[in-house]
Structure 1
Amino acid sequence: MDQFEFDVLATAAFKGERVAARRLVARTHVTEAQALLQVLTLAAGAAGLAQLLHQREQLRSRDEERRLARQANAACKLALRKAGTQSTAAWRGWFDGSAHPNPGQIGIGALLCGPDGQRAEISRRAGYGNSSEAEYLALTALLELAVRMGATELAVCGDSQVVVNDVNLGAARGAKGLEPHRARVVELMSALGAVQLRWVPRHRNGDADRLSQQAVAGHAAAG
């Protein structure tokens, strides 16, 4: 076993499995690599070592994506605090999208409020897709509305960490499969100028959530 193969096993192994491998080395005097291979092969069972390594790699990738998402969200919040947009943004917007089931019929909801009492709502069906596509379509509709209304200094909030982090991370580190949606959102944000996008918990996104659910409910009633 070469160093690369050992590194693959060591990366895939959980802490308890590495401890078990070291104990096996102490008892039998096999190499650490051989011990780790035995421990992981036993853990894999009938599914086989290759399947276990594949599953562990997927798990590691998901953990890394979550770490990057947390990092991006923290950076976004810090930028918002430094810019003071949470309190001084002239326009505020909220968006939410839902798919029933997932994937399924999409409903989008958005609310846009201006500094002089302007208020505009969106609540409509938007075809078929998954929840991430639904959230992106809602954000796109909100930004298109903002462009039409001449909004400036816009702060946008949504409860989808997937979409908010995807936009803030950018194309180089964004999610796969959402590229066309991201490109359209970035285009609209560029047209608007000063736009801040941040995540909020669902209970602080109630109006947009209500509007998206209302759209889906209207479709169900009509059907």
Structure 2
Amino acid sequence: MTYPLNDHMIDALSASNPQQRLQAAMAIGTRAEPRDLDVLIARCRVEPDFFVRDMLTWALTRLPADDTIPRLIAELDSSQPQAISQSLHTLSKVGDVRAWPAMDPALIGTALIAHPDTEVVRSAWRATVALVPGENRGELASALVTQLGRGDIEMQKSLSRAIVALGEDLVSVVDEKLHAEDDTVRAHAMATRDMFDDPDAGFAHALDAAKRVVALGSETTV
């Protein structure tokens, strides 16, 4: 069944009330009309509410991948960080490996996995791990470990989870960073190594323990 274009529904995506925007995104996703693609992409760039953004992503996953993937990939070149992070998040949910070349560090460098914006880079870590073909896991792991030591504890936890999700057969890539000159990198590598051994262990506890080990090691070399 084809639904007539409902201008009120489109207008509601920019309503001041987030609940109205949420309901509008849900309704648009339910009808799943390809002609709504442009307005959904545009709203993703500016939507301030997390739950509405998640509903926009759901609505986009309901549309034909042949239409959405090229548009989402184009958003990766945006000057707006939210447009990039939301596109990465949505591509990971669509789950189509055709998007992989657009984020593969071997092809585009570290523009995404080392992006200066926190939300963009965390989305990039999750998306690359979700879409990487099996034969490219090692290369991706080697690229991701270059970011060890970056950011606060939540950011470091996100990176560790991404690396661990690539598979325990790649733990040697993390081991190479256990002897890094930077104390923060070494501690983060140790905590990530512990997550390989015990994925259910608390990251904060593992990181604190690793920092103590690194500090003791530094003292003995003074």
TM-score (norm 1): 0.24
Flag the structure with more relative contact order, 1 or 2, with Cα contacts below 8 A and sequence separation at least 6.
1
More helix by share: 2
Q: Which has the higher strand share?
A: 1
Max Rg structure: 1
